[in-house]
Chains A and B, each alone.
Chain A
Amino acid sequence: MEILSCKELNFSYNGSDRRTLCGVSFGVQRSQVVLVVGRTGSGKSTLLRLLKKEIAPVGKLAGEIKVNGKAQRDLTLLESTQLISYVSQNPQTQTVTHNVSSELAFGLESLGIGKDEILGRVGEMAAYFGIEDIYSKSIDELSGGQKQLCCLCAAVVQSPQILLLDEPAAQLDPIGKGKLFSVLRRLNSELGTTLIIAEHDVQGAFEFCDKIIVLDGGRAVCYDDRESFLRAAAADESLRGYIPACARAVMPLGRTAFNVRQAKGIIEQSFKPSQQAVQKADEDKKAQYAVTAQNVYFRYSREDRDVARCLDLKVKQGEIFAVVGSNGSGKTTLLKVLSGILKPWQGKVTIGGKNIKAYKGNSLYRENAAVMPQDPYDLFTSQSVRNELDKTCRDMNEKGGYDELCAQFGIGGLLDMHPFDLSGGEIQKCAMVKLLLTKPQVLFLDEPSKALDPQAKAVLGQTLQSLSQQGRTVIIATHDLDFAAQYAHTCALFFDGKAHSCAQSREFFARNNFYTTDASRIARNVFPSAVTVQELEAAVRSGDRL
């Protein structure tokens, strides 16, 4: 019997004529794993929230949702809580209490379960998730990855039959992502929990999903197995971005792989191993540096440890420089220090060859540098996107003139909307436009590809490349290794307060084992210089087979 089914689901938000969901129908069997993919704003989050009555968005809903054979609207709060749990992409807005122990107990307390049972179940689940070390900690002390694990644990401790996950790995570093998906896989295989996961980065869930739903313009296309999805995606250019690297790498060989191990095996059987190491690029000694940091130390207060210590860094003009690292390693702080928002207590930072202390007032951020924060909503304090862009133009003493940028990023239709009504991907695009209005020579971007679909990522990447060609420098802090491998010229791993392994991105990804792309892992014995899926695909097509 289907544990969940939707029939002819139509939904539009209050005050909007546009149908966010249009005739969506699908069924989910017990213990299945369903992956929901689709472009930014295609209705993935709306669909997931509609599946849980208590958090359903306000609007006009038509159609039928059945849970365990019962109409969703007839479920009581108790039944719904026991049956379905929900984890969103932002752990900040999910944590209700102030420390991990009470957060884990919150749902069980709501269900009126006895004290001893609560403590027993919470303890068991904390051990299962391996979070005993953070059990007594305050939520504010946790890193993004730990917070997300805590939210997941708090949802699972209620023993739901269905777990809805809205981009659960969006804020996690590559290692955290791996851990999260391995926990999800165990939940499914050991407890039989039905998982419905909405994700842009499909690799983690693709390995063990049973069904794929593609949402496009509110309409859903259901693929009952991974093979049928891959066949359809191979023929449809708009779906190519959702094919994981392992499958895409072996497609030219007419084979199918669902994980790195399978793809690596197929590639290594088909091509001769290469002994050739990745060529180191010659360093351009005449290059001008756009940003430098010399012996920089930064800490938030005297009692804290240094987040940046003995930091030396040089970023060339016109370069796209990517900083990767684990959650909580200090990448955001590094960006703030380099961009002059936070002042180091020791050391020197220069932008455009000039010490940042020498920039008076806010002159540094006018035609010199611009910073996109981790939460792009922070850039918008006006009632509409248009008002905000107008305000930036006024600050820059410019009149209008953002139509071209809006067209380039495709945000023309969003200008009159309130920033808070935009989806994660849409607000990223609006934030980029606002930043570019200040005509910066150096852009500091904190997680710019977060919550973007593959198409939007490509647009962003091309924009960064064109800025780079114009001689502007871009420094990004990111968890998105595929994005960094494809668009960054140089990469560094931020760890222990310093930027380590600073190298050209090809060299950087070719030598790393974990902070690297799936394509590089698959190809390193055969095509060592291929670090992006496009490069690997091209190498497979043109390589000499055994």
Chain B
Amino acid sequence: MCYFKTFDPTVPMTYLLCVMSICVFTANPYLQLCALFGGTVLLLCIKKKKALKLLALCAAVIAVMGGTNPLFVHRGLTELFHIGKDPYTLEALLYGLSTGCAIAGLLIWFSAFNAIVTQDDILAVFGKRMPKTALVISMILGFIPKLHDKYRELLHAQYGTGATRRKSLRRCASLFVACLACEAERVMDISLSMKARGYGLKKRTRAQRRRFRKSDGAAIVFSVGLCVLCFVLIGKGRLDYWYYPRLSPNGFDPLGVGSYLLLCVAPLFFIVKERTLWRYCPARN
């Protein structure tokens, strides 16, 4: 993940938002496949074996969406077979797969976002202009994993004193309330600690540990440029794709698909560059 750490935190954030914004809005299967491919490669590079669980889940989502959509939607002219009186159409099957790919793509890119953009990066990006808001956002993002850890601790503590292991809704709710109370107490103590260290004084500053360089600007221009190009082509209808009643013969615009593919696989360039540099680095020996 070092290749992203060589950039200013604005770069990975902008890049990931660009990729995801197109992934959310498009139903074009070529763009979806680009997102899926780029995201999978990136996630495997970042998380290695840990990514396999999520990828398996994504595969399951695609399969389920693809398999079940034709059971409920009978639109489309290419009938593959009949289930009872209802036709099972190729168009509905592909539409289901496409929807599955869109969801899987988003899951994968969000997972990459979580792994790459830390709370400190958020603070670094927004901290200069909005130091207080950035701090609050960063603390909120840290709240959920802490809540989860606390819930587990409370559960263990309750087991250890004879409480039942049966997971009733009432029991879970009471533990969750206790968990929230613990966290509320902790947050109150943290707010006191913040106040004790001068939080609330008017002129809050932010100590940036890294300067914004030309290469950061170039990377942002690259990401935003490709993203804007894709949106322009989407706006012009060159990346439109439809499934019903028959599959669209259009949708493969070389410029649009090529640009998005380039955007999605751009981190690979840095991964390969870093590995090559390290391989031939004299310091390694």
> Which residues of A are in contact with B by a Cβ distance under 8 Å?
52, 54-55, 77-78, 81, 85-86, 88, 90, 92-99, 101-102, 105-115, 118-119, 122, 154-155, 158, 303, 336, 339, 341, 361-362, 365-366, 369-373, 375, 377-381, 392, 395-396, 420, 434-435, 438, 444
Task: List B44-59 residues whose CB lies under 8 Å from chain A.
Answer: 49-50
Q: Is the CB of B196 within 8 A of A52?
A: yes
Which residues of chain B are within 8 angstroms of A111 by Cβ–Cβ distance? Answer: 198, 201
Interface string of B176-197 (1 = CB under 8 A from A): 0110011001100110111111
Is A55 in contact with B161, judged by CB distance below 8 angstroms?
no
Stretch among B96-104, B204-212, B260-268 lining the A interface: B204-212
User: Does B254 have its Cβ within 8 Å of any Cβ on chain A?
Assistant: no
- B76-84, B162-170, B239-247, B270-278: which lies at the interface: B162-170
Select from chain B the residue with minimum beta-carbon distance to A120: B207
Question: CB distance A420 to B185 under 8 Å?
Answer: yes
Tell me the bound Cα distance from A81 to B162 in angstroms. Answer: 47
Let me know if A379 and B196 touch, CB within 8 A.
no
For residues 136 through 179 of chain B, which have their beta carbon under 8 Å from a beta carbon of chain A?
138-139, 142, 153-154, 156-165, 174-175, 177-178
Q: Are B178 and A381 in contact (CB under 8 A)?
A: yes
Residues of B near A108 (CB, < 8 A) are 207
- Chain A CB within 8 A of B118 CB: yes
* Chain A residues in 8 Å Cβ range of B189: 88, 90, 93-94
Chain A contacts for B214, CB-based, 8 A: none
Closest CB in chain B relative to A74 CB, distance in Å: 17
Given contacts A336-B156, A370-B162, A438-B162, contact A98 B204 (CB under 8 A): no
Q: Which residues of A contact B192 (CB under 8 A)?
A: 54-55
Q: A381 contacts which chain B residues (CB < 8 A)?
A: 154, 158, 174-175, 177-178
7 closest A-B pairs (Cβ-Cβ)?
A371-B160, A112-B203, A93-B189, A81-B198, A110-B198, A381-B178, A378-B157
On whether the beta carbons of B186 and A112 are closer than 8 Å, the reply is no
- Check A420–B181 contact: CB distance below 8 A: yes
Do A54 and B160 touch (CB < 8 A)? no
Least Cβ–Cβ distance between B162 and chain A, in angstroms: 4
Given contacts A55-B196, A96-B194, contact A112 B138 (CB under 8 A): no
Q: For B49, B135, B161, B189, which residue has the most chain A Cβ atoms within 10 angstroms?
A: B161
Rounded to whole Å, the gap between the CB of B204 and the closest CB of chain A is 6
CA distance in complex: A370, B192 (Å): 35
Residues facing A in B199-231 (CB within 8 A) are 199-209
Using a Cβ cutoff of 8 Å, how many contacts connect chains A and B? 164
The residues of A that contact B209 with a CB separation of less than 8 Å are 101, 119
Task: Answer whether residue B62 sits at the interface, using C-beta atoms and an 8 A cutoff.
Answer: no
Interface of B: prevailing SS: helix
Q: A118-B207, A362-B162, A378-B153 are in contact. List 16 more A-B contacts (CB 8 A).
A: A93-B190, A94-B193, A96-B135, A97-B138, A98-B119, A101-B120, A106-B199, A109-B131, A109-B206, A110-B201, A122-B207, A303-B49, A362-B159, A370-B160, A378-B154, A420-B181
Please state if B162 and A396 are interface contacts (CB–CB under 8 Å). yes
Shortest C-beta distance, B46 to chain A (Å), equals 14
Whether A112 contacts B204 by the Cβ 8 Å rule is yes
CA A367 to CA B201, docked complex, whole Å:
55
- Asked, given contacts A54-B195, A97-B120, A118-B207, whether A373 binds B200 with beta carbons under 8 Å apart, the answer is no
Which A residues lie within 8 Å of B11 (CB)? none
Q: Does B257 contact A (CB under 8 A)?
A: no
Pairs A–B under 8 Å by Cβ, sample size 22:
A78-B201, A85-B197, A94-B190, A94-B193, A106-B199, A107-B197, A108-B207, A110-B194, A110-B200, A114-B205, A115-B206, A115-B208, A118-B207, A361-B164, A366-B162, A377-B182, A380-B178, A381-B178, A392-B162, A395-B164, A434-B161, A435-B161
Residues of A within 8 A of B208 (CB): 115
- When distances are taken between beta carbons in the complex, the residues of chain B under 8 Å from A54 are 192, 195-196
Shortest Cβ distance from residue A31 to the other chain B in the assembled complex, whole angstroms: 22
A113 to B131, CA, bound (A): 14
- From B50, B139, B182, name the one whose CB has the most chain A CB atoms within 10 angstroms: B182
The answer to the question of B116 belonging to the interface, with a C-beta cut-off of 8 Å to chain A, is: no
Given known A-B contacts A107-B197, A110-B201, A158-B197, A93 and B186 have beta carbons under 8 A apart: yes
- Residues A365 and B201 in contact, CB atoms below 8 Å apart: no
Are A365 and B159 closer than 8 Å at their CB atoms? yes
Q: A361-B165, A365-B162, A395-B162 are in contact. Are A113 and B205 (CB under 8 A)?
A: yes
User: Is the beta-carbon distance between A362 and B198 smaller than 8 angstroms?
Assistant: no
B27 touches A (CB below 8 Å): no
Q: List the A side residues contacting B181 at CB < 8 Å.
A: 420
Contact A99 B120 (CB under 8 A): yes
Partner of A379, one of B139, B161, B165, B203: B161
Is B123 engaged at the interface, CB distance under 8 Å to the other chain?
yes
CB of A365 within 8 A of CB of B160, answer yes
Across-interface contacts of B135 in A (CB, < 8 A)? 96-97
Most chain B C-beta atoms within 10 Å of own C-beta, residue among A106, A336, A380, A435:
A106
Contacts of B158 in A (CB 8 A): 379, 381
Question: Shortest CB–CB separation between residue B254 and chain A, in angstroms?
Answer: 42
Report the Cα distance A109→B164, complex, angstroms.
Answer: 48
How far, in angstroms, from A379 to B175 measured CA to CA in the complex? 11
For B119, B158, B160, B200, the residue with the greatest tally of chain A CB atoms inside 10 Å of its CB is: B160
